[in-house]
């Protein structure tokens, strides 16, 4: 509340950026993992769930679970990122399961404000975001293995070698599985577009 | 990332290469405050969940419950569950259940003094504010562990929902309940809206989602500190017994005169005329100043300038309109948050949203500005008047397209009278469609006229509730700010459509007195005087009006090209200035019906038609304006009900006067 009071007194001068600081409370390792991998976890999750808010929920859940099970982490068995992404995979599964009980997994196209693409105009941005949302919606119709590998690659930003390590399979197998997943995604999106065309036409 | 595939030494098959590129270029924007927020939460949790391990089994359950309570408000998903859980567990008699059943509108001055920029509806991606840095050593806290968002101003919110209830559905008696998930941020504003369970009627779902950002809550608190949380919220659409409730305007005769101070003497004295041509007072300067104060950033205003452009929501020449509007909208949101007593930013922002086609948001912004003005009587009339007017203009826009019209159950009659038209269009529900009527109008105009006269089942568009609401808004605009030109004009044009010419004269004189002789006021008075057969007085008003208008607009009103044949028209078009005036004088001279008077009645009649067409249809060269000028005002207008597309109207006009 102190910062908010200050903002009230000098509204134009206060910047909102939270200061980078070393935590005095968290285990040092964990805090490092948080800084290094939070973004990858968030993006991995965001690739799988419908909205930024849901992705924040799930990402929070991931780190909270990780913190609770920190004593169970075994560095010989997995890297911190692999460990966190596994927790993320389970958290996403839980989230989607809960959602299926509630209703749709998809989000309407006009509410995807966090998708970013570096194009100049607002109109292009809207078109681009719509396309991206279609891709994401399409990816959610794929089997879970395909979704997993696509979100590791295009969400978390892992390269094939890292994915291979994460999944415990060969680089070649990753390339093949990714190719198949991409192909199926393309089919799903094309199918959706045809349906949309029929509907609109 | 794009290159990584290649570094594998594998070539991506072409069929999916584009998709790979597309996916690779995609990124997700994290809320800037999300990381710090989560880190602070983890730090708070660590002493509880980490330091005590391994937990004795006996304590596990109790700690789990405590953990849930703490995590519940710290982690969004858990917050939502907790809010729902606790909401369900609360006694039904308690009024402030977090699972809110019906909605409300928080009025500005009851909000925290530092309103968030996200207070306002926005089409732009919104960034919730950064949280304050977590306290390093939190002070001891004795209050409740957690409290939950509570809806503020239930009555106001119900009214807001009602006003966003689509008219067509209200009329059809279609209601329903839409369950929304709302992210109520630490300042109590709704920052995100999700549909939890639709009503089964997409329009209702959409209306609920559009109105939800205007709801206001007291924020959830964890150990006394405001936090964001999800709440579930049922928006119920039910038609009230009395129909739609107007914002805060009394039930009055829609066309009654505005309650403004009377002009001492409405007769046309020399003194009054000489005082008329003073500096026009449209209030833009003062409103602009208020906006400047609210924005409180000279550099920004200088960059987005001029302030009048910001106030009008019109990008200045040379700027990129979309980008300009986005930037101005963000500045206005901040200004509205910073200066909660000032309604000018809401006015400007509403205009921008309107220009962006976001009419519902625009209307909510104007109404929020009005609510703000109601709570802060210091809001200047130059802002209050335009807020009323803009709201009325939006209602008018909806009314023009959605009001119910009449119909002709005369398929059989017409088929008999006009066999040629058999193949054109079709009848719907036993009534003639507008397309069919248009075809009949071409093929058998006389038969159509007879059938319309005999069988048309008319519905007066003015009986629609929105008409009364819109006129009440225009009146309120004039009452707040008597010099508002467009609001005055709307009232005068509506009176003119009713043929209430004496009231038009009185209104126009009040309007002229308030504005120091606005050209619209003088034109309207001129039109009314001509309709009252006071042609000489009418001409003097037009002469005064012409002094206040641009040469182009004067030329538009005096223009006679519609009355000329092709050859004369070609010649006329080559003229300009005095030469054109002389041409017009030569044209009108032989048409003067009463040579004993000083004025040419036919010429003044033409000005009256042109002026009314200009004001009524918003410019010269409009199709209905052309008919109006050629044939005079219609003696009867029949409007047809059509759910989609523009309304079809059939006008009956008196024979052309010569």
Q: Hey, which residues does B634 pair with through a beta bridge?
A: B653
Q: Which helix (H) or strand (E) element contains residue B648?
A: strand B648-653
Instruction: List CB contacts of A144: < 8 A, sequence separation 6 or more.
Output: A93
Percent of chain B at pLDDT > 90 equals 11
pLDDT at B489: 93
Q: β-pairing, B190-197 with B634-640?
A: unpaired
H/E element holding A95?
A: helix A80-102
Whole-number Å distance between alpha carbons of B39 and A15:
19
* CA-CA-CA-CA dihedral for B40, B43, B48, B51, to nearest 10: 170
pLDDT, tens digit, for every residue of A170-201? Answer: 888 898 899 989 999 988 888 777 766 654 44
- The per-residue pLDDT for B232 is 82
pLDDT category at B87 given cuts 50, 70, 90 is very low
Q: Within 10 Å of residue A47's Cβ, how many Cβ atoms?
A: 26
3-state secondary structure B160-196: HHHHCCCHHHHHHCCCEEEEEEEEECCCCEEEEEEEE
On whether the pTM is more than 0.80, the answer is no
Q: Which helix (H) or strand (E) holds B649?
A: strand B648-653
CB contact under 8 A, B45 and A67: yes
Length of chain B (residues): 658
- Say which of B16, B54, B135 has its CB closest to residue A186: B16
pLDDT tens figures, B143-155: 666 777 888 877 7
Q: Are B356 and B325 in contact (CB under 8 A)?
A: yes
> Coil, strand, or helix at residue B597?
coil
B369 phi/psi in degrees, rounded to 5: -60, -40
Cβ A43 vs Cβ A62: under 8 Å: no
B77: distance to nearest CA of chain A, Å? 5
CA distance A63 to B277: 72
Compute the mean pLDDT over every residue in chain B, rounded to the nearest whole number: 72
pLDDT in tens, B513-564: 888 888 999 999 999 999 988 888 899 899 989 988 889 899 999 999 988 8
**Mean pLDDT throughout B418-423?**
64
Lowest-confidence pick of B45-54, B116-125, B549-558, B575-584? B116-125
Query: Nearest CA of chain A to the CA of B36: how many Å?
Result: 7
Search chain A and give the residue with CA nearest B71.
Answer: A64
Chain A interface, best mutation among B7, B8, B186, by max A CB count within 10 A: B8
Would you say residue B119 has pLDDT above 50?
no
Indicate the pLDDT class of residue A139, thresholds 50, 70 and 90: confident
Widest distance between CA atoms in chain B: 113
Give the model's pLDDT for residue B271: 52
Non-local (6+) Cβ contacts of A157 within 8 A are A40, A43, B1
Q: Which residues of B touch A45 (CB under 8 A)?
A: none
- What average pLDDT does the segment B17-35 reach? 78
Chain A segment 42-101 residues within 8 A of B by beta carbon are: 42-43, 46-47, 51-61, 63-64, 67-68, 70-71, 95
Q: Using CA atoms, how far apart are residues A37 and A49, in angstroms rounded to an integer?
A: 18
Q: Phi-psi region for residue B305, left (φ > 0), alpha (ψ -120 to 50) or beta?
A: beta
Statement: residue B321 has pLDDT above 90: no
Express each pLDDT in A62-100 by its tens digit: 998 898 888 888 888 888 898 999 999 888 888 877 766
Tell me the sheet residues that pair with A87: none
Residue of A nearest to B25 (CA): A117
Is the pLDDT at B272 greater than 60, yes or no? no
B623 pLDDT above the threshold of 60: yes
Share of chain A above pLDDT 90, in %: 10
Task: Give residue A17's pLDDT band: very low, low, confident or very high (50, 70, 90).
Answer: very low
Residues of chain A with pLDDT > 70, as a percent, come to 68
For residue B86, what are the CA distances in angstroms to A31, A60, B146, B195? 32, 21, 11, 21
SS3 of B237, please? strand
C-beta neighbour count of B367 within 10 angstroms: 23
Among B22, B5, B21, residue whose Cα is nearest residue A135 = B22
Instruction: Report the DSSP beta bridge partners of residue B538.
Output: none
Q: Please report, to the nearest 10 degrees, the dihedral formed by the alpha carbons of residues B313, B318, B322, B324 taken in order.
A: -60
Between B450 and A151, the more confident residue is A151
Strands B225-227 and B190-197: unpaired
Rounded Cα–Cα distance for residues B58 and B51 (Å): 17
Say if the ipTM goes beyond 0.90.
no
Residues of A in contact with B326 (CB under 8 A): 122
Say if A2 is an interface residue toward chain B (CB within 8 Å): yes
Those residues whose C-beta lies under 8 Å from the C-beta of residue B582, and which sit 6 or more positions away, are none
d(CA B507, CA B511): 6
| B284: pLDDT strictly greater than 80 | no
* Non-local CB neighbours of A26 within 8 Å, separated by 6+ positions: A34, A67, B39, B42, B43, B46
The partner residue sitting opposite B126, judged by closest CB among A113, A154, A182, is A113
Helices and strands, number each (H, E), in chain B: 29, 13
Q: How high is the pLDDT of residue B239? A: 67
Contacts of residue B324, Cβ cutoff 8 Å, sequence gap at least 6: B304, B315, B316
């Amino acid at each position: 509340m102190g910062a908010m009071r200050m903002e009230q007194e000098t509204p134009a001068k206060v910047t909102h950026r939270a200061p980078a600081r070393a935590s005095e409370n968290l285990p040092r390792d964990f805090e490092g993992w948080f800084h290094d991998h939070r973004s990858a976890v968030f993006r991995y999750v965001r690739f799988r769930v419908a909205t930024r808010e849901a992705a924040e929920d799930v990402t929070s859940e991931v780190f909270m679970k990780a913190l609770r099970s920190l004593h169970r982490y075994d560095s010989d068995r997995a890297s911190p990122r692999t460990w966190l992404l596994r927790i993320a995979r389970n958290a996403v599964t839980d989230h989607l399961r809960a959602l299926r009980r509630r209703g749709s997994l998809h989000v309407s196209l006009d509410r995807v404000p966090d998708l970013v693409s570096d194009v100049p105009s607002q109109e292009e941005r809207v078109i681009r975001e719509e396309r991206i949302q279609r891709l994401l919606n399409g990816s959610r119709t794929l089997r879970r293995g395909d979704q997993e590998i696509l979100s590791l690659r295009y969400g978390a930003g892992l390269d094939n070698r890292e994915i291979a390590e994460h999944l415990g399979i060969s680089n070649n197998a990753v390339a093949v599985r990714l190719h198949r997943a991409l192909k199926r995604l393309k089919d799903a999106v094309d199918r959706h577009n045809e349906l949309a065309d029929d509907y609109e036409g | 990332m794009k290159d990584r595939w290649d570094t594998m030494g594998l070539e991506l098959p072409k069929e999916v290469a584009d998709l790979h590129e597309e996916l690779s270029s995609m990124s997700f924007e994290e809320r800037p405050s999300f990381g710090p927020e989560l880190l602070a939460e983890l730090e708070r949790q660590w002493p509880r969940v980490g330091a005590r391990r391994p937990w004795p089994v006996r304590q596990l359950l109790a700690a789990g419950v405590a953990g849930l309570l703490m995590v519940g408000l710290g982690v969004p998903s858990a917050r939502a569950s907790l809010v729902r859980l606790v909401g369900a567990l609360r006694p039904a008699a308690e009024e402030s259940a977090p699972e809110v059943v019906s909605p409300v509108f928080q009025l500005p001055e009851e909000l925290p003094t530092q309103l968030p920029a996200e207070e306002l509806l926005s089409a732009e991606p919104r960034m919730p504010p950064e949280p304050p840095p977590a306290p390093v050593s939190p002070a001891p806290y004795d209050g409740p562990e957690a409290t939950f968002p509570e809806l503020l101003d239930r009555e106001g919110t119900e009214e807001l929902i009602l006003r966003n209830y689509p008219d067509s559905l209200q009329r059809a008696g279609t209601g329903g309940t839409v369950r929304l998930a709302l992210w109520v941020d630490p300042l109590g504003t709704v920052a995100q809206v999700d549909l939890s369970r639709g009503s089964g009627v997409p329009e209702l779902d959409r209306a609920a989602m559009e109105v939800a950002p205007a709801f206001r809550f007291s924020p959830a608190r964890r150990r006394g500190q405001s936090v964001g949380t999800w709440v579930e919220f049922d928006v119920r659409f039910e038609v009230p017994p009395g129909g739609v409730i107007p914002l805060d305007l009394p039930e009055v005769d829609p066309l009654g005169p505005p309650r403004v101070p009377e002009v001492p003497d409405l007769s046309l004295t020399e003194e009054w005329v000489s005082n008329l041509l003073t500096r026009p007072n449209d209030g833009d300067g003062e409103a602009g100043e208020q906006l400047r104060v609210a924005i409180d950033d000279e550099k920004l205003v200088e960059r987005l300038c001029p302030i009048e452009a910001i106030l009008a929501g019109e990008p200045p020449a040379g700027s990129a309109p979309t980008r300009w509007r986005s930037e101005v909208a963000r500045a206005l949101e901040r200004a509205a948050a910073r200066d909660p007593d000032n309604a000018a930013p809401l006015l400007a922002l509403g205009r921008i949203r309107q220009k962006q086609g976001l009419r519902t948001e625009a209307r909510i912004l104007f109404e929020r500005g009005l609510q703000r003005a109601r709570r802060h009587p210091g809001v200047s009339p130059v802002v209050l008047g335009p807020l009323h007017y803009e709201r009325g203009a939006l209602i008018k826009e909806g009314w023009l397209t959605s009001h119910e019209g009449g119909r002709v159950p005369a398929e059989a009659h017409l088929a008999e009278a006009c066999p040629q038209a058999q193949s054109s269009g079709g009848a719907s529900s036993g009534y003639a469609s507008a397309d069919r009527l248009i075809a009949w109008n071409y093929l058998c105009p006389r038969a159509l006229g007879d059938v319309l006269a005999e069988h048309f089942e008319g519905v007066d568009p003015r009986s629609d509730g929105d008409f009364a609401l819109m006129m009440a808004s225009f009146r309120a605009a004039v009452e707040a700010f008597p010099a508002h030109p467009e609001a005055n004009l709307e009232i005068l044009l509506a009176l003119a459509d009713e043929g209430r010419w004496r009231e038009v004269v009185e209104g126009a004189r009040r309007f002229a007195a308030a504005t120091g002789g606005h050209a619209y006021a003088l034109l309207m008075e001129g039109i009314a005087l001509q309709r009252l057969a006071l042609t000489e007085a009418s001409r003097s008003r037009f002469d005064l009006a012409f002094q206040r208008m641009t040469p182009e607009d004067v030329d538009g009103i005096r223009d006679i090209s519609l009355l000329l044949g092709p050859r004369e028209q070609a010649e006329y078009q080559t003229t300009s200035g005095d030469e054109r005036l002389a041409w017009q004088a030569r044209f009108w001279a032989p048409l003067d019906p009463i040579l004993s008077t000083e004025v040419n009645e036919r010429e003044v009649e033409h000005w009256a038609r042109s002026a009314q067409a200009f004001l009524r249809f918003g410019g010269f060269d409009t199709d209905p304006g052309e008919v109006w000028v050629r044939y005079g005002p219609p003696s009867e207008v029949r409007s047809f009900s059509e759910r989609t597309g523009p309304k079809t109207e059939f006008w009956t006009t008196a024979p052309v006067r010569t």
